[in-house]
Chains A and B, each alone.
Chain A
C-alpha cells in the first residue's frame, strides 16, 4: 500500500477518534444542559448539576473546536463543502453553541431568578440543538446531500434547509440526543446525591432504552436504503479531484462492507452492548462504569456509521460521481504526515492532563459548598 493511502486511512481513523471525543466529552456536557431543568428543580440543585461539569466543560468543548480544525486540515474539501452546504443548520448549531460559555460563566453572576432562569433555558437549547444537529448531519451522509463542483472545484449546494430535516436524519439526531442524555444523566449521578441522583438514574435508563430502539430502527432503515458504490476512479493514495470518478447507487449497498468482512458486525454489536450494559450499570448504581459503557456505546455507533460509509465521507445526491471520499477529499501526503505526527504527540498528552483534571476535581459536589464558594458557577 502507498504511504499516502496509509496516511489517508490513519486520518480517517483519527477523524473517528476526534468525533468520539466530541460525542463523549461534549455530549456529556450537553446532556447535562438538556436535563438541567429536569434533574435540578430549584436553583441550588441546578447549580450542583452545573458545577459537576463546571471545571471541565471548557476543556471538553475543545473537542468540538479541534474536530473542526482537524477536518479543515486533513479533509479540507469536507470542511468546505459540508459547512457551506449545511449553512442554516451550521448557523443554528453555532448560535446555540456560543450561548454555552456565557451560560456557564454568567448564569450565577447575578442573583436574579429571572436572569438565572433565562440562562438555564439557554443551556437547555445549547445542549439539545447541537446534539440533534450532529446526529442529523451524520444521517444526511447516508442519504447524500445535493452538491456539485465546477471545473476548479468550487462547490455549490443546491438543496434546501428543510431537505436536511428528513425522517432518517431526525432519527439519527434523536439517537445522538438519547446517548448524550444518557451520558449527561450518569455524569450527574457521578457528582450528585439524593433526589437528584435518583432523577438522573431514572432518566439514564429511559435514554439507554431509547438509544437501543433508535439504533436498531436505524439499522433496518439503512438495510433498505440505496447506498453508494465507488465503481471506478483514481483510487487510494493518488492525488485527484472529485471530478474523476464514477459512482453508482444500489439498494443495501451501505451494508456491503459488513458483508465483505463479517467481523465488522462486532462494531454495531459493541454499540448495543454499551447501551444495554450501560443501562444495567446505571440501574445497579455503578455510575462510573455506566459512563465508560456509554463511551463504548458511542464508539460502536460512530464506528458503525464510519464502516458503513467507507470510503465515502460526503456523498452527493445530485451528482453522485462527485461524491467526496477519503481518497479525493484528503489533504496532501505531507500535510497528513505532519498532522498525524502532531496528533500522535498531543492527543495522548490531552487525554493525560484531562484525566488529571478529572482526578483533581473528583468526588461529589455538595450543595452547601456550591452556595458558599464564590468561584462556583
Chain B
C-alpha cells in the first residue's frame, strides 16, 4: 500500500525538477534555430559581423544548454526511481518515445553541439552551418518525442490494458505518435521555445543598445529577434487555442478546472475573466464574466456547451461503480491466470478500470467500498480548480502581453525608431523573464489539470509512486533542492557575466587572480 505522503512528496519533487528543467529547455529549442538563422546569414552574405553574432549568442546558448542537459538526466531517471509502478504499468508504451528520443534526437543534438563549438576552424563554412542546423533539428526532434510521451499521459491513445501481464501495452504505434494531443502540444510547446529565445535575444540586445555597446551586433540581433518573435508568438497563441480544443475533448475535467466551470450551463456559456474558485463549496467568488465568450472559445461556436464539475463528478461516480468489478476480476486473474469467468468480467468492465483504482485508495478491498468512499473517489476525479484556473489565466495574459510587445517592436523597428524609444528598450530588458514564467504556467495547467491521474482515466497518481519511505523522499528532495539552488546561482552568474563582457570579452584567461577580484572586474566593466 502506498503512503500518501510519499506520493505527495514524489509529486512535489517531480514538479520542482520538471519546472526547473523547463527553465532551460525552451531557450535551447528557440536559440538553436536562431543560431542556425544567424549563421545562414553569415554563410550566404559572408559578412564577418554575422559570424561574431552567431558565436556570441552561441556562447550564451551553451551556458544554458549545459544545465538543460544536466537536469534532463534527472528526468530520464525520475520515472524509475520515484514512479516505479507508473514505469512498469505503462513502460511498454511510454518508454518507447523516450528511447526513440535518445536514438533519433538527443544523440544527434549532443554530438553536433561538440562540433558546433569546436569545429569552427576544422569544418568548411557549409559543413559548420549544417552542423548548427542539425543541433536545432536534434533539439526540436527531442521535444517532439518527449511531448509524444507526455501526450500519452494526457490522452492515452494506441494502448490497451493486458490482464495477462497486468499492464498497459501498445496496440498501435501510429495512434500513439499521431494523437491530436501530441501534435498540438508539440507545436505549441516548441514554438513557445522560439518566443522565449526571441525575447531573450531582443532583451539582451536592448540592454546593449541602452548602454551604447556593441551597437552593430545588438541592432542586427534585435531585428532578427523581433521578426522571429512576432511570428512565433502568433503561432503559440493559435496552437494554444487548438491545444485547448483538443485537450478539452480528451480531458473535460481539466477544461472545467481551467475555466472554473462548476455547473453545467446552457449555451452560450459566459467566460470567467477573473474568479476565486472554492473547491469546498464548488463555486466561484467574485466572478467577472464575459457573456457568450466561453462557448466561442472552447467549442468555436455559440451553441456549444461543455460539462461542468457537477456533471463530471456524477459521471465519475458511476464509472467508479463500474470499475470495481474490473479491479476484482484482475485480482482473481492475478492468482489464477486464464480464469475464463474473471476474464469475461474484466472485459465487460475494463473501460472503467482506472476509476476502480481511484476508489481502491480508500477501500483496498474494492468490493467493500462504501457509497461514501465511492463519492470521495468521484470527487477526486476533479483536479484542484484554483491553481489550474489561475495558471491558465497567467499563461494567456503573459502570451497576449508578449504579442503586444512584439507587434510594437516590429512597428518601431520598421520605422527605425527603436533606439530613440529608451522606455521601449528598458521594457525589452524587463520582458526577459516573461516567457519563462508563461512556460512554467503552461506546464502547471497541463500537469495539475491532469490530476488525479498520471495516465488520464487509466492510472491514478496515488498508485503510480514507488513504495519508498518518507525518509528517502525527504533525503532526495533536500539533495535536489540544494544542488539545483547552487546550480542556478552559478548559471545566472556566468550568464550575466558573459552578457556584461559582451562578444569581445576574453573570458578565458590564466588563473592568476582570485574569483573575488574577477567579480569586481566584471562589475567595473559592466
Interface: A68 (CB within 8 A): yes
Q: A371 in the interface, Cβ–Cβ < 8 Å?
A: yes
A65-B76, A79-B91 known; A339-B508 Cβ under 8 A? no
Which B336-387 residues sit within 8 Å CB-CB of chain A?
337
Residue of A nearest to B335 (CB): A151
Give the docked Cα–Cα distance between A343 and B84 (Å).
25
Cβ contacts A265-292/B at 8 Å (1 or 0 each): 0000000000000000000000000000
Contact A84 B508 (CB under 8 A): no
Q: Kindly list chain B residues whose C-beta atoms are within 8 Å of the C-beta of A339.
A: 96, 99-100
* CB contact between A54 and one of B114, B122, B169 (< 8 Å): that residue: B114
A77 to B95, CA, bound (A): 11
Chain B CB within 8 A of A206 CB: no
Rounded to whole angstroms, the CA-CA distance of A354 and B508 in the bound complex is 28
Of the candidates B93, B102, B483, B508, which one forms a contact with A111 in the assembled complex, judged by CB atoms under 8 Å apart?
B508
The interface residues of chain A lying within 8 Å CB-to-CB of B87 are 72, 76, 79-80, 83
Q: Which residues of A contact B101 (CB under 8 A)?
A: 69
CB within 8 Å of A: which residues of B?
Answer: 55, 62-63, 65-67, 69-74, 76-77, 79-82, 84-88, 90-96, 98-104, 106-108, 110-115, 117-120, 122-123, 162, 164-167, 169-171, 173, 330-331, 334-335, 337, 463, 466-468, 472, 475-476, 479, 483, 487, 490, 494, 497-498, 506-515, 518
Known: A105-B63, A106-B494. A335 touches B77 (CB 8 A): no
Interface SS, A side:
helix
The closest CB in chain A to the CB of B104 belongs to A346
A343 and B103 form a contact (CB under 8 A): yes
With A101-B67, A101-B69, A332-B169 already in contact, the answer to whether A152 and B330 are too (CB < 8 A) is: yes
Confirm or deny: A108 has a beta carbon within 8 angstroms of a beta carbon on chain B: yes
List A contacts of B95 (CB < 8 A). Answer: 69, 71-74, 76, 79, 331, 335
Decide yes or no whether A246 CB sits under 8 A from chain B.
no
- B114 near A241 (CB under 8 angstroms)? no
A348-377 interface with B by 8 A CB criterion: 350, 353-354, 357, 360-361, 371, 374-376
B92–A76 touching, CB < 8 Å? yes
- Max chain A Cβ within 10 angstroms of own Cβ: one of B90, B111, B334, B497: B111
Least CB distance from B20 to A in Å reads 11
**Complex interface residues of chain A between 39 and 87 (CB less than 8 A to chain B):** 43, 54-59, 61-62, 64-66, 68-74, 76-77, 79-84, 87
A147 to chain B, nearest CB (A): 10
Contact partner of B114 (CB less than 8 A), chosen from A56, A70, A84, is A56
Contact B334 A88 (CB under 8 A): no
Task: Give the interface of A toward B (CB within 8 A).
Answer: 43, 54-59, 61-62, 64-66, 68-74, 76-77, 79-84, 87-88, 90-91, 94-95, 97-102, 104-106, 108-116, 151-157, 239-241, 243-244, 331-332, 334-335, 338-339, 342-343, 346-347, 350, 353-354, 357, 360-361, 371, 374-376
Q: Which residues of A contact B475 (CB under 8 A)?
A: 88, 91
Please tell me if the beta carbons of A360 and B123 are within 8 angstroms of each other in the complex: yes
Question: Per a CB cutoff under 8 Å, which of A64, A81, A100 touches B84?
Answer: A81
Beyond A58-B110, A69-B76, A72-B94, 12 additional contacts (C-beta under 8 Å) are A55-B115, A69-B99, A70-B99, A87-B81, A87-B468, A112-B514, A113-B514, A240-B337, A241-B166, A331-B170, A332-B169, A376-B508
Residue in A90, A112, A343 whose Cβ sees the most chain B Cβ within 10 Å = A112
Q: Are B84 and A83 in contact (CB under 8 A)?
A: yes
- Also in contact, A347 and B117, with CB within 8 A (given A113-B511, A332-B162): no
Could you list 14 examples of A-B contacts with CB < 8 Å? A55-B119, A57-B114, A59-B110, A61-B110, A79-B87, A80-B91, A83-B77, A84-B468, A87-B472, A98-B71, A339-B96, A353-B108, A357-B111, A375-B55
A69-B102, A90-B81, A153-B88 known; A360 and B122 CB under 8 Å? yes
Closest chain A CB from B464 CB (angstroms): 10
Partner of A73, one of B96, B107, B114, B167: B96
Complex CA gap A375/B117 in Å reads 6
Given contacts A98-B70, A105-B63, contact A111 B512 (CB under 8 A): yes
